[in-house]
Copies of this chain bind each other. A is one copy, B any other.
């Protein structure tokens, strides 16, 4: 029987759990669609994310090497974000998931109403 979780730390679980948080995929998708963006532009595009969570999410993505952060030494400060090369290679897979979700959400919603809960 096939098993997918070596006892101890499973790197696959670790990586996927990051993408599974509330905002990562959305931030990545937004950057993928719009290219380089300022902090405030991302915030305007995803307007229901809190400032705190946008910062936290971007920092995590940067730490993982999926997003690049560039600070311009200006006043007022300007910070631009864009996907790294690795981040770019991830996007087609996320897009496939999004497309699948779009294509099956009706069936899923129907199932939720149908299945006696």
Contact pattern, A 40-58, Cβ under 8 Å of B = 1, otherwise 0: 0100111010000000000
* CB-based nearest B residue for A94: B97
Q: Which residues of A contact B (CB under 8 A)?
A: 1-5, 7, 11-17, 19-22, 25-26, 29-30, 33-34, 41, 44-46, 48, 59, 62-66, 86, 89-90, 93-94, 96-98, 100-102, 104-105, 107-112, 115, 117
Pairs of residues from A and B, 4 with the lowest C-beta to C-beta distance, nearest first: A20-B20, A65-B111, A15-B101, A11-B105
Q: DSSP class of A's interface residues: helix, strand, loop or mixed?
A: helix
Number of copies: 2
Do A96 and B93 contact each other (CB < 8 Å), given the known contacts A63-B117, A105-B15? yes
